[in-house]
Structure 1
């Protein structure tokens, strides 16, 4: 029944939980969906622990967390309150007996102590996490269902969590029994408990909210706006219609390239996975206190470059998914969101994108910004992709202007650019810059001079239509390419 002598986390969880949704149709889609949920759950767990830990007044350990193959706690204050170990493949004879920071060990600038797994143990290839606190017990894993389908699984059930702990306990007895007395004592302090239903609801809400916030693409979710929550008005995401037609009825590219599209999705996934690992390790290094200023600067550059490439391939993957999906229901419900907040959160990043190519960027916003109805999870990624396309297509020293204005029952976002140099008859400026975009299939454009990949314009238009909006492209002799996006307004509220 099991792959090995002892069951993995996912094998235990799969037997005790309901069958997960099977909407994605390919193995790649299922794997990526599971990874989205895993990273969203990690972020939710950190937030949930932070909301609980400050309530404790004593200086003792607040809980125990066992994970593998990487640490999952991202907040230093949590590392100092929760006893944390990381299971990883290692030499059983060189097991680290160092105490976690929460138990008087070294500071949170040092990676948590590790416990060994055998190289042939399938658990070594399965991201997992076990948490025991006085308030709840939780086990989760990024693994496979009984049928072998990639999936994310989690459980708050005390019996399931206890079985998971017993599988780890048996592994330690087999590989390295030295730490068991300490771990057994901690587990006795935090026996598995049935959580309050509000804790499970809070975790689920946090997980949904974080699916798109961890720079790895997320599962699309319905978001209820604060304005509706405050007024108590009945909300239905399906009640918000785009004036440009149903988003899921956007024009699709011909299906003859379906195999190529699946290959592109697989490549996008394989690129993002190692980049996400590199970024995770980089951020763990940045938490160390003994780093010099120059090292910190270079690590931040690595973090930034990884983030940009992860986001770029997130966008490519989602566009490929859109182009190959035939469904009678929308890929994501539309909901009112604050466009002012989108600009506030992303303007520093867009400014940095422009500065990297020696451009200037001005963003002109109205004094009052109405709420717009769109996909609340993907709009910022789509706008960032558009800024990225513009910055790579202009000669150095250009000026980019983004202006937001009201246009009847829509909000208009216009992207203009002005080169600071005159172009000659050959189309080159004084720097010799003459951008050439080559088509890579139906979805992508490639710029040989920079190696930059971007979505083709038809696919970009389809993408914005899927977000409930409309993208119009105009060519001007002096201003070059002018991009205009129209988004429908939510007329019930205006942000100050």
Structure 2
């Protein structure tokens, strides 16, 4: 049987005419992740609604759920990964909550193919939409590694030809499906200035992710000018955004690999439990750093409150209850709900509320001693609904409980909790995020957290 061209040959074709690389593995991997983020956040998501297709190896390169739902894909994976996946696509990074996909939800539309030994494992991605086409790859010997980005039609056409030959020899049905998907896209329009726009955006993202950080002395010999303080604050926020991205990206990759393993039916019970624990911890930290990134964005580039929609807060809380129970259970904490029946909808942004609530619960429970129970109470309060988090059923008297200590501010977004040794969103940043969601947060020592949301259709209140 004719095997068709290897994927190594595909990467070689993409590299034709590209200057030799001088990078090491860590450097080009950073470039790869920055290019993926630039591609998805700056170029694809703004094209909504979107249609197109992608081809990748050795794992799905795209991680934004919205893109995975809309685009058709093919991914070559190592044999051991392919045997794990069975007949269903894996849950992919990008979902902030880490919740399982509902049974009736449309699965990400991609097909899995198996890598050969001579294909290599360097990543590549081919992506085609009617308005935007690109080929990406990593290639080169050690210490001569390089990131390749190609936008020219001739190279993209050759890359598609090699993929078609490979599929035709090994997976004729996949070859037919790819040809059909390309035909459905119709005429492809390639903007001549795409590369001129992409490279500067990528450079900006890499500059923000720069690994070498010069630390300034804490004590200054003279007070800086006001303009200098503002510039320093903006620099700190950009650095914070870059660091949160650097943390979330590898965690998302780890979570993807964990979920691939969890699809195996022969895992020992103890191993499965450990993997599920790792999956949960990854999801929590992805959520946490996603909130920090969002808060830094609001501080650096303040935006008017977005358009809010009718939101069934009761249904959302019940939907999140199993996830929160597992999250709190890992800390030996309980969860109890008290929600009044037949509550009206509120005005908010449900896509962000889910993430924000996760961060709020993490913030509230960090200092609770093991054995406590968190009470979530939702009730009407005039023209608003009041959501309150409080601690009930604390440990029995005589159990050592931590002594509360005031968090210390670390810039405009973060605060340091000396009690738990953890960083968390500052009160100011948390308030600002809830304000952008239509809510108002109050926080009093010993009384828990309270958030007020306006009822849908209620007249605006002063100071809301």
Aligned to 2:374: 400
Per-residue CA deviations over 1:182-229 (Å, capped at 9, x if unaligned) read 3578525753454399xxxxxxxxxxxxxxxxxxxxxxxxxxxxxxxx
Identify which of 235, 253, 267 aligns with 1:277. 253
Aligned to 1:362: 336
3-state SS, counterpart of residue 311 of structure 2: strand
Aligned to 1:338: 312
Identify which of 70, 77, 87 aligns with 2:59. 70
Aligned to 2:438: 468
Deviates more, 1:413-422 or 1:371-380: 413-422
Distance 1:358 1:186 in 2: 49
Contact 1:68–1:128 (CA under 8 A) maintained in structure 2 = no
Aligned to 1:167: 159
Contact 1:398–1:418 (CA under 8 A) maintained in structure 2 = yes
Identify which of 387, 403, 416 aligns with 1:434. 403
Compute the displacement of 1:445 (Å).
2.1
3-state SS, counterpart of residue 454 of structure 1: strand
Distance 1:341 1:153 in 2: 46
Identify which of 156, 170, 180 aligns with 1:182. 170
Distance 1:384 1:290 in 2: 32
Distance 1:271 1:139 in 2: 29
Distance 1:465 1:372 in 2: 14
Distance 2:233 2:364 in 1: 27
TM-score, with normalisation over the residues of structure 2? 0.60
Distance 2:451 2:73 in 1: 50
Distance 2:320 2:327 in 1: 11
Alpha-carbon distance change, 418 to 142 in structure 1, aligned in 2, over 3 angstroms: farther
Deviates more, 1:300-309 or 1:289-298: 289-298
Contact 2:375–2:391 (CA under 8 A) maintained in structure 1 = yes
Compute the displacement of 1:266 (Å).
0.6
3-state SS, counterpart of residue 402 of structure 2: coil
Contact 1:32–1:269 (CA under 8 A) maintained in structure 2 = no
Per-residue CA deviations over 1:49-108 (Å, capped at 9, x if unaligned) read 9xxxxxxxxxxxxxx98422304899xxxxxxx9955178xxxxxxx7x9x89xxx9954
Where does 1:6-405 land on structure 2 (aligned, <5 Å)? 6-7=13-14, 32=37, 34-35=39-40, 66-71=55-60, 85-86=75-76, 107-108=86-87, 112-115=113-116, 124-128=122-126, 164=156, 166-170=158-162, 181-183=169-171, 187-188=175-176, 191-192=179-180, 193-195=182-184, 256-327=232-303, 329-330=304-305, 332-405=306-379
Structure 2 runs not aligned, ≥5 long: 1-10, 19-32, 64-71, 90-111, 138-146, 187-228, 459-464
3-state SS, counterpart of residue 344 of structure 2: strand
Per-residue CA deviations over 1:366-415 (Å, capped at 9, x if unaligned) read 21121111122211111111111111112222232221111222111112
Contact 2:434–2:440 (CA under 8 A) maintained in structure 1 = yes
Aligned to 2:93: none
Distance 2:236 2:353 in 1: 26
Per-residue CA deviations over 1:306-338 (Å, capped at 9, x if unaligned) read 1011010001100111111134x44x3211122
3-state SS, counterpart of residue 307 of structure 2: coil
Distance 1:303 1:276 in 2: 10
Alpha-carbon distance change, 117 to 412 in structure 1, aligned in 2, over 3 angstroms: same
Distance 1:412 1:171 in 2: 56
Per-residue CA deviations over 1:7-29 (Å, capped at 9, x if unaligned) read 48xx9xxxxxxxxxxxxxxxx99
Contact 1:126–1:141 (CA under 8 A) maintained in structure 2 = no
Contact 1:404–1:413 (CA under 8 A) maintained in structure 2 = yes
Compute the displacement of 1:260 (Å).
1.1
Per-residue CA deviations over 1:284-319 (Å, capped at 9, x if unaligned) read 111223222222211111111110110100011001
Contact 2:13–2:155 (CA under 8 A) maintained in structure 1 = no
TM-score, with normalisation over the residues of structure 1? 0.57
Contact 2:416–2:422 (CA under 8 A) maintained in structure 1 = yes
Aligned to 1:416: 390
1:459 and 2:429 aligned: yes
Deviates more, 1:312-321 or 1:65-74: 65-74
Distance 2:73 2:61 in 1: 12
Distance 2:291 2:73 in 1: 38
Distance 2:312 2:74 in 1: 38
Contact 1:371–1:491 (CA under 8 A) maintained in structure 2 = no
Contact 1:337–1:376 (CA under 8 A) maintained in structure 2 = yes
Compute the displacement of 1:114 (Å).
1.0
Contact 1:87–1:114 (CA under 8 A) maintained in structure 2 = yes
Identify which of 431, 447, 452 aligns with 1:481. 447
Contact 1:411–1:488 (CA under 8 A) maintained in structure 2 = yes
Distance 2:369 2:85 in 1: 51
Compute the displacement of 1:431 (Å).
1.9
Compute the displacement of 1:452 (Å).
2.8
